[in-house]
Structure formats: C-alpha cells, structure tokens
Amino acid sequence: MKARRWVAAAMLLSGLVACRPPEYTITAEGVAAQVEELRAGAGRATVAALAFRRLGLATFGGDSDFEQVFTVTARRAGEVSVILDGVKVPAERVAASLSSEYIRWTDQDSISVVRVGPERDPMNAWLIWRGAAGKILFLVDAQHVDRFNDVARRMAEPVTGLEVVDGHDMVAVLSSATPRAFRVEGSAHSEVREMANVVGLLPGKRPNEMIVFSASRDHVSGTSAILELARYYARRDRPERTLVFVLYAERTSAPALFDVSGPPENYGPPDDFGALHFSLSVDPTHIIALLHVDRIGEPADYREAMEAGTKGGNERSLAAATWVTGYDRSTLLELMQAARGDSLQPAFGPDPYPWFNLFELLSNAPMAERGVVAHAVGTSPVEETGTWFPDVNAPELLDPAHMAGVIRALTAGIRPVVEGEATPIRLDR
C-alpha cells in the first residue's frame, strides 16, 4: 500500500512538472516577433496588457486591470493684455506661460521684472527663468525679434503636469522700454487628458522587496525588452524578490530626447508623466532597484563616444557596451558587471555621454529623486543635438540579435539582486 502511495505521488509530481511551460529563452527570433507585433497597430498598451494577462502576472497596487490610469492637466494662456507707461503693447509682441487661471498685475504688486538687454540671448535667459516660482515680467530688447519669436513659440506650449497649481506665471514682452508703470491682465484655459501606464506584477517570496523593470512606450526596443523580460521571469521558478514590469505612457511632447538650445545646466527633459505618476504610486522604501530600458535597438560605437566625452580616451572603453546612466550613483553597475561574467556580450559600462546628464533626464529620474537605486540602460547613439540618431523606431535600424544580447546580459547581471543574494547601495554625491 505504501509503495502505491509513493508511485501515485511520483506520478502526480511528474504531471505537475510536465504541465509547467518550459523556461523561456530570449532569442533574436523572439525579439523580432515581438517587434513586429508592436508595429501591427493594435496599440502598445493593448499588446502589453494582453501579454501580462497571458503570462499570469498580477495587477499592481489593487488596480482592477493592468492599466494604471491617471490624468494630466494642460493649461494654456489665452489673450494677455500688457500696458507699459499707459501704452498698450501690440499682441504680436506679447507671449505668456500661465499656471494660474487668471492674472492681473500692476507695478504696485510683487512682480519680478527681468530685463534682457541687447547683449544677452533671450532664449538662454528664458531657460534660466522658466522654472522660477512667482510672477515674472520678462522684458526683451526690441532688437531680439527673431529670438523673441523663438521664446514665444516655446511659451505657447501649455503648462502641463499631474496637477497644475498656481505659482508660476511669466509674461514676455518685446520692448526696449524700461517702464515705470505697467498693467498686465490675462487668463488661461485648462484641458484634462487621461493617460495610462501598463503595470504587471510577478510576486516573489519577499513582497516588500521589489525590482522594477521599466520602459517608455514611445519606442519599440525598450517596450520589446520589458515584454521579453516578463516572459523570461514568468516561466521560471518564483523569484526571491517581487518583480514589477512597467510600460510608461507615451510622452506628451515631441520625440526629441531633450532641449539643448541653451547651456548644459539648462537642458530639460520631455514630459514624462508616466514615470512621475508611477514613482508617486509606490513606497520607495520597498524598491530595491529600478532598471529603465531605454533605446537598445542598435549598438553604438561605445569606444568613440567615450573618447569624445573624455576628450582623449578612456581606459574603461568597452566595445558594443550597454551603458548605464549614473553609474557612480550606486553599486549596481559593479554588481551587474561582476554577475554578467566574461562570456556574455555586450558588457556594461558607464554612460558615454556625461555632458548630457542622462541620469537626471531619462525616465529613471523620478524614482531616483525619491532615493531609489534607479538607472537607465541603453545602447543607441545620441547626436550632439541631444536627439537619438537616427529614428530609433525605424525598422531597418532595429537589430533583434543585438537587442536579444542586451536583454540576456541584463538578466545575467541583475540575477543576484533578483534572487536576494545582493543589494545595491545608493552612493549619494
């Protein structure tokens, strides 16, 4: 009788093992198929949510489905009237960016008056003042007509955020006058737009220790990587730490990487409200690390980029490397490089574009601001203008074999962290 029980138990165990899907292998063919699915037109959010459901992932934070819905408010200035020393300024010489729904200023109020004389570049001055709190009257010398028009076009873009609150209003005027008296009056209207991240959860043995893999749905390579990582981990034994897979909502601004029209300290990121919303929806003390997979569609000449960045070469140069932003902000790069070993390519290396400050401009930044070990990884080259070169979603430029190699290297590098054998340490500077 006892022997029969052992046989029955063995048969049951054998059946359970046989029913479990085989472990997923990341291949160039699989990546290519994923890329094509994302191009098919069903919508990347739809494709991702369906993939998470098929993999048996859990929803995040009590959400009823995989979409983490949020709203973004855009406030755009309407007509603004400016009177300087009793003379009304023509409308074409006035531009405004308003976070308040209504403004009414006079020279008797607490207004910051900024004067941009003939010797200054109005765009550079605007880049400095655009983030300042308060009420700003921005007077641009009349000889700067072309640059004023450039500033006006930028100011015409709506003030956009998860929540737009009063506190930053700027009115620019093309005038050589230094007015003793002024009166400014105007209003703005608001539009609310619904957006959504797609988030899937793979519960680990430690529910309050999470590793986040993220990408933006703007680009195919990062989105493909997150879906491949989800497949890889969902078909393996339960991880020690909980894994979160996030695809951020598309950005609301143009697809350029960031604004480089001024000096480097004023470079500004595109609107990345998906990453910001997600960072505010989690307890940062539960996040062990975040890896944001940026553009990995093609290899860059890493050695050349490093040499350009260091003006004369760098011994850390690695051929066809996957670069990690803010490599010196934590011990994560060191852990990943050691775990990757010497056999897997591409290797991990420091960000070869330090002058762009990508650590604070890519989608890892909101979580890093909250004290989390959070880095972005990428391989695609960046132009001197701050844009990805060339179109990172162009079919002929996405290299599935290269992408598969990067994703496999990521799984190898992050393995000790996933399994709870190592914990990266944040190095604040």
Distance of alpha carbon 312 from alpha carbon 303, whole angstroms: 11
Q: What angle do CA 152, 155, 157 make, to 5 degrees?
A: 120
Q: What angle do CA 228, 234, 236 make, to 5 degrees?
A: 110
Distance of alpha carbon 225 from alpha carbon 198, whole angstroms: 14
* Amino acid letter, residue 292: H
Nearest to 357 by CA among 427, 219, 257: 257
Q: Which numeric CATH code is attached to 28-58+203-418?
A: 3.40.630
Q: What confidence tens digit (pLDDT) does each residue in 281-295 have? A: 999 999 999 999 998
Buried b or exposed e, range 320-357, using 16+ CB within 10 angstroms: bbbbbbbbebbbbbebbbebbeeebbbbbbbbbbbebb
DSSP 369-383: HTT--EEEEE-S-B-
pTM: 0.79
CA distances from 102 to 78, 157, 161, 166 (A): 10, 17, 18, 9
* Amino acid letter, residue 164: V
Nearest to 377 by CA among 343, 411, 345, 350: 350
pLDDT along the chain (429 residues), means of 10: 46 47 91 90 88 97 90 91 97 95 95 93 88 89 96 90 79 95 95 93 98 93 96 97 96 47 43 89 96 88 52 38 89 90 72 82 90 92 54 70 93 96 91
User: Cα–chain-centroid distance for residue 259?
Assistant: 14
What tokens were used for 37?
Answer: 């699915």
CA distances from 134 to 109, 131, 166, 204 (A): 12, 9, 9, 47
Domain with CATH 3.40.630 in the chain: 28-58+203-418
Q: What confidence tens digit (pLDDT) does each residue in 201-210 have? A: 999 999 999 9
Q: What confidence tens digit (pLDDT) does each residue in 51-93 have? A: 999 999 999 988 889 999 999 888 999 999 999 999 999 999 9
Residues 148, 172 contacting (CB under 8 angstroms):
yes
Q: Can you say whether the dihedral through the CA atoms of 132, 70, 223, 347 is positive or negative? A: positive
